[in-house]
Chains A and B, each alone.
Chain A
C-alpha cells in the first residue's frame, strides 16, 4: 500500500475515556500532520512532525491531546478524558520536506457519547 493509512477508521467512546489513533504515513515522507475536521468545515491543523520532532502545535491542541512519532515513522494521537466536543474526524497527512503537497489518509471518525 502506497498511501497514508489510519486506524481505527471509526471509534465510539464514552465521555471521560482515553482514545488513541494511529497514522502510518507514506514511507519516504518525513513530514506528518494531524488535522481535525468537524461536519461542514474544512480540516483544521493540530500539529506536525518532521521525522520524530514535533515542530508545531495549534492552540486547538489542548493539554488533553498528545501526539508522538517516536521513530519518525508512524504517529499516534491520544486524547485523554474525552469530551463530546472532541467528536470529529481526525485526519493525518504526510509530505516530503521539499514538497508543499500533503497526502491525506482516510481519517478516524471519533464519536464521544
Chain B
C-alpha cells in the first residue's frame, strides 16, 4: 500500500501511554481547525475539530487544545493503541475558504 510520510517527524509511544501531537498554524484569521489521521493507502480520516472560540474540545479518547495566542494546536490521545499508528495532520481554515494542512507527524505505537 501507499507509504505515507516517509520522512515525517515521528513520535513513538508505548501502548497504553498518552500521546501528544503538536501543530503550529500560520493564519491568525483561521477560525476552524481539524485533526486528520491518515493510514497507509488511505485518505485522511476526520478525528476531531475545534472552532476558534474554544480552547479545548474532547472526543472519545482524544482531546484537542487550541492556543490562539501562539497559534498552536495539539492533539492528545489517551491510552494509545496499536490502531492509532498513522500519520496525523492538522488543518486550518475558515468557512468558505480551503483548508491548509500542516506537514504531519507519524505516530508509532510500540507494543
Contact = CB atoms under 8 A, between A and B. Distances in A.
Q: Does A associate with B in a complex?
A: yes
A40 B32 contact: no
B69 interface: no
Contacts of A2: none
Interface in B53-111: 89, 91, 93, 95, 98-104
Interface residues of A, number: 24
11 contacts: A40-B103, A42-B91, A42-B101, A43-B89, A45-B99, A56-B98, A91-B43, A93-B43, A104-B36, A106-B41, A107-B2
Interface in A21-66: 33, 39-45, 48, 56, 58
Query: A-side binding surface: helix, strand, loop or mixed?
Result: loop
B21 interface: no
A31 to B, nearest CB: 10
Interface residues of B, number: 28
Interface in A51-102: 56, 58, 89, 91, 93, 100-102
B23 to A, nearest CB: 10
Contacts of A107: 2, 42-43
Contact of B3 (A39, A45, A100): A39
Contacts of A56: 98
A10 to B, nearest CB: 9
7 nearest interchain CB pairs? A42-B101, A104-B43, A45-B98, A40-B7, A42-B89, A104-B44, A100-B32
